[in-house]
Amino acid sequence: MYDVIALGELLIDFAPEGSDLHKNLFLANPGGAPANVLVALSKMGRRTAFIGKVGLDKFGTSLKETLESYEIDTTGLVFSDNVKTTLAFVHLDESGDRSFSFYRNPGADMTLNENEVRYDLIRQARIFHFGSLSMTNEPARAATLKAVEFAKQFGGLISYDPNLRLPLWSSSDEAKTVIVSALSYADILKVSEEELFFLTRESDVEIGSRILQKSFGLNLILVTLGAQGCFYRLNGESAIVPGIKVNTVDTTGAGDAFVAAILHKISDDVTLNNVSQLSRTRIKEYVSFANVVAALSTTKKGGIPSMPSMAEINNHLLGIS
């Protein structure tokens, strides 16, 4: 049995690493939101597996080796012999907030098809996690939705992080239509403030989250607020759990670290298959923990390399520097 299985993109993030005369320098880091989540979970001691597709190139083989170095099951990872691994260039502003430029026209992750998905792995998942980047294009869109339907059919808890990257969609209308089409499957939805506004046209997190919950029957909605922490809506209750202050250098992967921490906590809970039964005390505890994990991830550069270890998390919680 796997604690969490994730499906989606696995890629190389080129993160800025200073400059040399007239040249910008970049450091190649393994990344991709679903993979970031699994690495963080693996470092917390969870049994995980990845489903996705990379190119049969140096980047692709390196990414497979990276996942395996964290003891993530890669039997669901497929190689394309004619499409290259997706590359992303990360751009950071002075506060560490990032934007992306993608080399993905196409990228191997977009070409995952239904018959390449390891449904036997999904059948063994207690939690199935996915995002929207695997739904920007066919055939990966159909493969993702079929995998989610399969996971739901076999009783797995569904975690969904839309992780909106508008430049990868043909239009904002298509992005909204496709992202919304998957909302009804989710037991846990994590969005940023920007993503909540994109989906609801509502800037008030209280109102926007209520709209989503009523429209799609979502049990748990988490709206990350950056350094301010996280807003949650569980059934009819909602609150903001404050974040913590750290020396932020790069926010890449912070949302993924947050998701991983939430799934780590929920995977131990007796209410695993009915998130709506979580108590107010427990969900606040889980979100507070996730805020710490997300914040710690921003103190390092990159996606996968920034995921904190359990020792680092515990040291912070115990006040050990």
Q: Dig out the tokens for 308 from the structure.
A: 């904190």
Q: Cα–Cα distance between 262 and 264 in angstroms, integer?
A: 5
How is the chain split among helix, strand and coil, in percent rounded to 5? 40, 25, 30
Give 81-134 pLDDT, tens digit per residue: 999 999 988 776 766 566 678 999 899 999 999 999 999 999 999 999 999 999
Residue 197's Cβ-count burial label (10 Å; 0-12, 13-18, 19+) is middle
pLDDT at residue number 17: 75
pLDDT at residue number 145: 98
pLDDT at residue number 135: 98
The pLDDT of 282-296, averaged and rounded, is 96
The pLDDT of 289-312, averaged and rounded, is 92
pLDDT at residue number 98: 60
Give 179-195 pLDDT, tens digit per residue: 999 999 999 999 999 99
Tell me the average pLDDT of the chain: 92
CA atoms within 13 A on the CB side of 314: 5
Higher pLDDT, 22 or 44: 44
Res 23 pLDDT > 80: no
Give 197-235 pLDDT, tens digit per residue: 999 999 999 999 999 999 999 999 999 999 999 999 998
Q: Cα–Cα distance between 266 and 148 in angstroms, integer?
A: 19
For the question of whether the overall pTM of this predicted structure is more than 0.85, the answer is yes
The pLDDT of 275-300, averaged and rounded, is 94
